Amino acid sequence: MPHFSKEDISEMDYLYRINLINSCSGYKSANLIGSKSKKGISNVAVFSSITHIGSDPSILGFFMRPTTVIRNTYDNIKDMSVFTVNHIYEDILKDAHHTSAKYDAMTSEFDMTNLEEDYKNGCIAPFVKNSPVQMAMNFVEEYHIKANNTMLLIGEITDLYIQDSLLQEDGFVNLSEGKIAAINGLDGYTIPNLKTRLAYQRPK
C-alpha cells in the first residue's frame, strides 16, 4: 500500500497533488449552482462541495476557493442573496463539467453550453432545466477558513423540486432513479446505483 507523509505531499508535482487530495476523501456531490448578477447576467457553475448542514432549518453549505481572483458565483450570491442548486445527471455531464471554465462576468455559461435556464415561483436565479432535483436558496451567512483562505457559504432552502420517480413515501430521495452523478476528485464522474437501505440502528 503506497504511503505519503505530509512532507511527501508538500513536495509533489502540483497536478499530482491536487488529483490525489481531491480524490482521496471519497465521492462528492455533483451540483450546478445557478446565480444572476446585478446586471442580469446568468451564471451556472459546477460544485462538488455542497453538503447538508441541518434539516430544521433546511440549510446547506458549500466551499468557495479564495476570492483573491474573480469568483462570479460568489459575487452574484453576495449581491443578490439568492441562488439555486441543481443536481447533475448523466445526460449533461460534459456540459456541466464545462462550466468550470473561467468565463468573464459578462458571459453566461448557459450560452456556452446546451444547459437551459428555467425559472420558477419568482426565483430570480436560474434553475437548470430538467435537473431531477432543484433547490432555490437564500444566502444566510459565510465563514472564512483561515487555514487556506477559502469561504464556507451557508444557504437555506426556500423551494425544493424533485422529479416524481425519485421521491419515496417516507421522504427519501432515491438519486439512482434520476441517474444523478457523483464526482471522484476534480474530473471523474460516476452514476451510483442504490444497493440497499438499512434501518435506524440502536445498541444491541
In order of 61, 88, 179, 193, the CA distances from 53 in angstroms are: 6, 20, 24, 24
DSSP 125: S
Q: Is residue 152 part of a domain?
A: yes
For 8, list phi and psi in degrees, rounded to 5.
Answer: -60, -45
Domain-embedded: residue 79 = yes
Cα 34 from chain centroid (whole Å): 10
pLDDT digits (tens, 9 = 90+) for 85-136: 999 999 999 999 999 999 999 999 999 999 999 999 999 999 999 999 999 9
Stated pTM of the model: 0.94
Residue 12 belongs to some domain of the structure: no
> Residue 110: inside a domain, yes or no?
yes
Grid cell 500500500 in the structure block, residue: 1
Number of domains in the chain: 1
Within-domain flag for 117: yes
> What three-state secondary structure class fits 78?
helix
How many other CB atoms sit within 10 Å of the CB of residue 144?
A: 10
For residue 167, the enclosing domain spans: 27-190
Give me the helices (H) in the chain, please.
6-10, 14-24, 72-80, 93-98, 109-112
- Is the pLDDT assigned to residue 167 strictly greater than 80? yes
Task: Report the pLDDT value the prediction gives residue 65, as an integer from 0 to 100.
Answer: 86
Matching residue, cell 453538503 = 51
Nearest alpha-carbon partner for 127 in 161, 119, 160: 119
Residue 70, pLDDT > 80, answer no
- What are the E-state strand segments in the chain? 28-29, 31-36, 42-47, 51-55, 58-64, 82-87, 117-118, 127-128, 133-145, 150-162, 182-184, 188-190
**Calpha distance 144→156 (Å, rounded):** 19
pLDDT tier at 202, thresholds 50, 70, 90: very high
Per-residue pLDDT of 132-153, as tens digits, reads 999 999 999 999 999 999 999 9
Within a domain: residue 42? yes
In a domain, 120, yes or no: yes
Residue 186 is assigned to a structural domain of this protein: yes
Whether the CB-CB separation of 178 and 166 falls below 8 Å is answered with: yes
CATH classification at residue 123: 2.30.110.10
Q: In the chain, what is the greatest distance between 2 CA atoms, to the nearest angstrom?
A: 59
Q: Is the pLDDT of residue 84 over 70?
A: yes
Nearest to 127 by CA among 179, 82, 190, 80: 82
Q: Is the pLDDT of residue 77 over 90?
A: yes
User: Residue 187: pLDDT above 90?
Assistant: yes
